Amino acid sequence: MTSEHRRGLFRRERAVTPLDGIDVILADLDGVLYAGADAIPHAVESLNTAQADGIRVACLTNNAARTDRAVADHLTKLGFDVEAHDVITSPQAATRMLADLIPAGSTVLVVGGDGLVAELDKAGFEVTRSAEDGPAAVVQGFAPEVGWLQLAEASFALADDSVHWVATNTDWTIPQARGVAPGNGTLVSAVHTAVGRLPLVAGKPERAIYDLAIERFEAKSPLMIGDRLDTDIAGANRAGIPSVLVLTGIDKAKQVLAAGKDERPTFVLSDLRELHEPYPVAKVSKSGDAVEVRRASVRLEGSTVRIVARGDSEIDLLRAASTLIWGCGRPIYALEVPEELYA
């Protein structure tokens, strides 16, 4: 079922939960299940309840610093019911991509941490940290210890145009317990500046990691849950699957209202408890200039978005406003939007 098809539920009379008809949840980690070392409130009980109801949970992460086993151990300590097999990492997707680019057993220069090295070892590649070893490819992923020396080695190797370059992801930021920090995209950009070309990307929003997860879990009706429009949600739309944006990580109301067509989620949730609640129907007027979600309502008057009724919750007001703005056919910068909708 495509995202556009699921989005059509807005005009139905009966509200359904985001989990209706879903057999596999594809869950992002940072900002969705945890922030730093701590679980996001309500995430553990919400996903464990889904599993108890017969829905499998696959954990998708662009973070290349840790192995699938390390990620699973962390999640288990937080209370999630997860094993290593349930974790799909961008290094796994990158390694599969490499298998199509270079011969088996080739030397690969790694910029990153244990998660990358472990997957390359499993696949039989020879790992190096030096451009002097004549690598057939460079694989670049995030790790806290990555610094100038590793970036320089990658640049030296990639001066040869025949050397393939694969990045696990190009996320500009990564949520941490203390706030938002630079992500792998900033490190990839540094190498790009030095070598003048761009890598192939294995992780979200590219399809490789989604295809790997769907294949591993034999998913017939998956649902992606993420906190970033430009990676989690854009990737789900590219893969043709419905998606949830949960407002516990990077993107908030302002980003939701401004989301381009390719980055719009099927559902917007305050937290993961709402996975199990009926998702309210957005009632759109025949003229398309007014939207109601339960007791919240907004109207478009010329180029101005007006709040008619705030309703009982901020999330319903955001759902109504985003439906109105997405459906009006105009970019958000051409509209006057009340600051209280996104502040």
From the list 30, 230, 251, 316, the catalytic residue is 30
What stretch of H or E contains 292?
strand 290-293
List the CATH number of the domain containing 101: 3.40.50.1000
Structural domains in the chain (count): 3
Burial of 129 (0-12, 13-18, 19+ CB in 10 A): middle
334 and 299 belong to one structural domain: yes
- State the Cα–Cα distance between residues 118 and 127, nearest whole angstrom: 10
Q: Based on the residue annotation, tell me whether 30 is a catalytic residue of this protein.
A: yes
Which residues, in sequence order, are CB contacts of 225 under 8 Å at separation 6+? Answer: 25, 26, 27, 28, 32, 232, 243, 244, 246, 272, 275
Residue 184, C-beta contacts closer than 8 angstroms, at least 6 positions apart: 62, 64, 140, 141, 142, 167, 168, 169, 170, 171, 174
pLDDT one-digit tens code per residue, 176-230: 778 888 999 999 999 999 999 999 999 999 999 999 999 999 999 999 999 999 9
Say if residues 82 and 51 touch (Cβ distance below 8 Å).
Answer: no
Q: Lay out the sheet containing 107-111: strands in order across.
A: 126-128, 107-111, 137-140, 164-167, 200-201
Tally of CB atoms within 10 A around 17: 14
83 domain-assigned = no
Among 276, 299, 319, the domain-final residue is: 276
Among 169, 198, 227, residue at a domain's last position: 198
Question: Residue 300 is part of which domain span?
Answer: 282-341
The candidate with the shortest Cα–Cα distance to 111, out of 176, 54, 155, 69, is 155
Q: Give the SS3 label for residue 146.
A: coil
Of 144, 177, 198, which marks where a domain is finished? 198
pLDDT at 237 over 60: yes
Tens-place pLDDT, residues 3-33: 443 444 334 346 799 999 999 999 999 899 9
Residues in contact with 334: Cβ distance below 8 Å, sequence separation at least 6, in sequence order: 303
Q: Which residue in the list 20, 28, 133, 171 is annotated as catalytic?
A: 28
Query: Which pLDDT tens digit goes with each residue over 238-267?
Result: 999 999 999 999 999 999 999 999 999 999
> Residue 316 has what DSSP assignment?
H
Spatial separation of the C-alpha atoms in residues 33 and 29, rounded to whole Å: 5
Quote the pLDDT of residue 14.
60
For β-strands 222-226 and 243-246, DSSP reports them as: parallel
